[in-house]
Chains A and B, each alone.
Chain A
Amino acid sequence: MFPRLFLVIGFLLATLTQPLAGSSLTVFAAASMREAMERIGQVYEVETGNSVIFSFAGTGILARQVEAGAPADLFISADDAWMNYVIERDAVVPGTVRLIASNELVLIGAKGTERLDLSETRITGALDGGRMAIADTETVPAGRYGKAALESLGLWKAVSARLAPMENVRIALASVARGDTPLGLVYRTDAAIEPEVAVVAELPAESYPEIRYLAALTEGRPDPAAEAFLDFLSGQEAREILQSLGFVTDKVE
């Protein structure tokens, strides 16, 4: 009756079974790694001719997707908890987990905000009725590190009711840049890439657990290209790119 209609429907159905990404390497990486990974990916593509596709989100979202069998070849977590989560569920290959970078936490304000000391009065004064942008303190690594820091600095009680938890650390960064929140708690590397914000205080390194970016191969997708990219991530060139963006790489394995 409608041969053309059937042809179109048939074609659409046929394309449904084709993965859009084709044969290139797919990497699921923590949102705070965006610029670093994109640059490393570009260098890698130029050198090897293999293309790399990235999906960036809060680590927790990615971990759930990897657990559910998402077509990722590599998973890069911003903390140990989520990496352990996927290891326990046999979603990544435990032997391939390696540290690729470390990071630090800073308190930021809009460009031009003066520096603060980390006291309750100064912070509530700077908030001035507004909220402190932070990645979600229960689910997202940057927020969990931030909560730990606020707790050990004795600020949690005063600040916890004034937080604006976001889906990932980059949304918290954008919120401060836009002026929707007077202060924000983000990684040092995030603050460095956003010209509209200024660091108002560094959080002491001993106030939160060590921030570790861990990369691992996912289970059930044996691919030499994925292994090669994992090696590349901890190699000299990647290390230099990470350092240039403010990541700490002196403990990289």
Chain B
Amino acid sequence: MDFFNLQPDEWQALTLTLRVAAAALLVTLPLAILVAYILARYRFPGHGFVNALVHLPLVLPPVVTGYVLLLTFGRKGPVGVFLDNLFGISFAFNWTGAALAASVMSFPLIVRPIRLSFEAVDPKLEDAARSLGAHRFVGFLTVTLPLALPGILGGAILGFAKAMGEFGATITFVSNIPGETRTLALALYTATQTPSGDLAAFRLTLIAVVVAFAALIASELLARRLQTRLGGGNA
């Protein structure tokens, strides 16, 4: 059954996509938890501005986000030059650039559900932990964070999904380099533009659907286990 054997370039696109999405989530999740907690618990001047800034990539056309990334993190962009000179890190035309684009695009989707679940946790529980002698951070880790886990899981799933399917910002920022930045979405796009690329496009579509299904089922199982633990085992 030749049809069911993945071609090398299909494997490449698939593993690259998973790598980009995983890297994006690893970097984004801790930051998203921090930002969500700050937005949920503290009122400060500029609160609305930070909130708007976080949501900006959700509202802007992805191409705009990609273009802004290109201008700031590109080879001649201020941040790009700075990082390159100081640490030798370059995002331009690199898979790490694809991960950066995916991070920025998925950030608001991760922050939002986490913030909502933080807001639903009674701050008095944290106060109680502190009055019992727990350090502020320990109180957060042992009380608030576990109670907010469903939101964190939800945000992580949304963010991972967004990162896997990201297209506009990625192609604008790091172009479409086979094996480096050509994720599933970009490979599919390329196939649809190739004369006689219909079969390749169809195969890539199938791969995307299978991956999406697997991810959704896995996240559903995870959510159920979490529910059981939080509910004290009676769910």
Q: Which residues of A contact B (CB under 8 A)?
A: 58, 60-61, 63-64, 81-82, 85, 130-131, 133, 136, 138-140, 163-167, 171, 175, 178-181
Contact = CB atoms under 8 A, between A and B. Distances in A.
A165 B76 contact: no
Pairs of residues from A and B, 4 with the lowest C-beta to C-beta distance, nearest first: A60-B193, A179-B76, A139-B193, A85-B195
Nearest to A174: B70
B160 interface: no
Interface string B176-219: 11100000000000101111010000000000000000000000
A167 B171 contact: yes
Contacts of B75: 130, 179-181
B74 interface: yes
Contacts of A82: 195
A138 B190 contact: yes
A139 B190 contact: yes
Binding site of B, secondary structure by majority: helix, strand, loop or mixed?
loop
Interface string B90-130: 00110000000000000000000000000000000000000
A180 B70 contact: yes
Given A131-B93, A180-B92, A61 B193 contact: yes
Interface residues of B, number: 17
Interface string B45-66: 0000000000000000000000
Contacts of A164: 93, 175, 177
Contacts of A64: 192-193
A128 B194 CA distance: 31
Given A58-B193, A139-B197, 19 more contacts: A61-B193, A64-B193, A81-B195, A131-B177, A136-B190, A136-B193, A138-B194, A139-B190, A139-B193, A139-B194, A140-B193, A163-B177, A164-B177, A165-B178, A175-B175, A178-B74, A180-B76, A180-B93, A181-B75
Contacts, number: 53
Contacts of B93: 131, 164, 180-181
Nearest to B189: A167
B177 to A, nearest CB: 6
Contacts of B176: 136, 165-167
Nearest to A178: B76
A179 B177 CA distance: 18
B188 to A, nearest CB: 12
B18 to A, nearest CB: 22
A181 B175 CA distance: 11
Nearest to A85: B195
Nearest to A137: B178
Contacts of B70: 178, 180
B193 to A, nearest CB: 4
Contacts of B178: 165
Contacts of A171: 175
A55 B210 CA distance: 35
A140 B190 CA distance: 10
Contacts of A138: 190, 194
Contacts of B194: 60, 138-139
B93 to A, nearest CB: 5
A167 to B, nearest CB: 7
A31 B27 CA distance: 38
Nearest to A182: B75
A220 to B, nearest CB: 21
A140 B192 CA distance: 12
A165 B171 CA distance: 10
